[in-house]
Amino acid sequence: MMKAPTTWQITSGHTDYDFALATMRERAAAIRAGTAEELVWLVEHPPLYTAGTSAAASDLQEADRFPTYQAGRGGQWTYHGPGQRVAYVMLDLQKTHGSIPPRDIRCYVAGLEHWVIVTLKGFGIKGETRAGRVGIWVVTETGEKKIGAIGVRVSRWVTWHGLALNVHPDLSHFDGIVPCGIREHGVTSLAALGVQASMDEVDAALRDNFAAIFG
């Protein structure tokens, strides 16, 4: 089955996390029922921590710093906040999406990673993947650091959740958790790497590169 064009939505301001969860859940059900188009939804959240299904309680190091949420996605602890672009991707994986074959979750996750990598390349940043570590990494003078996190959920072959790309967030906000359960590597952003890109510029690059991967 070939897919219809994917709808894009950008929400300004800071989106409440509970609202985002409810909206994704409702949209995924509608996509499954054939009453709504697939959606890529770009948001920013207020500062908060989310726990994936594999999150360890001990990795939440400052429980009172920001609100915490059970996300229902895969993965461990993640920070969301201003200056970070969150892309919630709701696709029907029973259909072919560009180079992504139907019902192949592993290939879908790899597609999300590739999407971030080609987007970063346009800003002069070399993003890389690492075996055993989901997400996008860059090599800096002080070691490998994570610039993009990925956490997905697939409900009856419809995806939700997605990825978070650090554009210009306050990186000290990550100190309240062990991001993705990885203690030996830090986090970074486009701004920390010397790239002063606006959110609008990042959004445009994400949209331009999406079609090349997902059709």
Q: Annotated active-site positions, please? A: 180
The CA R_g of the chain, rounded to the nearest whole Å, is: 16
Instruction: In whole angstroms, give the CA distance from residue 135 to residue 174.
Output: 16
Size of the chain, expressed as the number of residues it contains: 215
Sort strands 186-187 and 128-130 into parallel, antiparallel or unpaired.
unpaired
The DSSP line for 33-100 is HTSS--EEEEEE--SEEEE-TT--GGGB--TTTS-EEE--SSSSEEEE-TTEEEEEEE-BTTSBBTTB
Q: How many CB atoms lie within 10 A of CB 63?
A: 11
**Contact (CB, 8 A) for 76 and 56:** yes
Instruction: In whole angstroms, give the CA distance from residue 64 to residue 56.
Output: 16
Instruction: In whole angstroms, give the CA distance from residue 195 to residue 200.
Output: 14
What are the respective helix, strand and coil percentages of the chain, to the nearest 5? 30, 35, 35
Sequence-distant (6+) residues with CB within 8 A of 204 are none
